[in-house]
Structure formats: C-alpha cells, structure tokens
Structure 1
C-alpha cells in the first residue's frame, strides 16, 4: 500500500540544542533504515519549511501508523496521510 505523508516538524524553541540534536540524529538513522528497507520510498524537503513530503510503501494502515509513531520526532510533528493507488494512465508498471 502506498501512502503520501506530509510531516511538519515543530521542535519547541526552549528545547536545549543538545537534546534536539540527539533526537534529530536518531530520526535520521531510523528514517534511513526505513528507506534502505524500501518502506520509505521517497522523501522531499519543502523549501523554506521544516517539513517533508514522503511516500511510504507498507503492508497496512497499522504498519504505517507504527512506523510514524516510532519516529523520534513524532511528538513534535503534525502529520497528514493520503492513501494512494496506481493511476490507470501511468506508464510505470512498478508504481503499484
């Protein structure tokens, strides 16, 4: 199942820099692990925002929920999810 996910991050301004940096390092490690596994297929930064658009390829709604709630930055995120399916006019057979 493919999902389009927008993640907007809002780290509290009063969070100590060392704490924020540690959380961001764990986030990067976890997200790259998911990318290498193929579950997190694409990630794009939104220019001028602390936000991204991502494409996830997972088995179920529950799996996506588990992945997102395990993100170290999850407590500081606003997340919106849109389910996707292959468009009949697509020329790419691997976009299932």
Structure 2
C-alpha cells in the first residue's frame, strides 16, 4: 500500500491480450461520437468487483448501453473506475482515473 494510505482500485492481474483483440487495442482510438468503448483489459466480473469492494470502492452509476452490455462507474477515496459488463460473466476495465 502506498504511503498515503490509498491503494489502487484495481489490482487484479490478467493474461495479456493476443491475436485480433491485441491488434484492435493498438488501433487508433475511435471518436466518442460513435459510442464505442475500448477496454484496457478484461477479467471475470466477480474478480473485478471483489477487488473493487475490497479496496473500498462502491458503485455510483450503472447504465445499460444495449446488446447485453452495461457500463458501471465505481469510486473509492482516490479513484474512479469505469467497467463494462458483458453478458458472458466477463467485465472489462474501460477507464481508471484519479478523483
């Protein structure tokens, strides 16, 4: 834990992306106008949520974005995390930033 007493909201390790997914992640970012979300990495929803809760995170917003996908925003004392939940039991880290 850092000396300021706050730990990062997400500490889960995941396997590196390979193949087509890795190539898509290296592609230029799409404009926000088209509504596409490019995740940083993905893991089992239960693992991500357990880590967020363990580090003091809580949900502050949840929005259905269609096709079985949901965006959820979490806060802890120092960070904001945005997760995209898929219908397959996997969630992806979309954004992580200081609050």
Which structure has more relative contact order (CA 8 Å, sep 6+)? It is: 1
Higher-Rg member (1/2) = 1
Query: TM (normalized to structure 2)?
Result: 0.29
Query: TM (normalized to structure 1)?
Result: 0.30
Higher-helix-fraction structure: 1
Higher-strand-fraction structure: 2
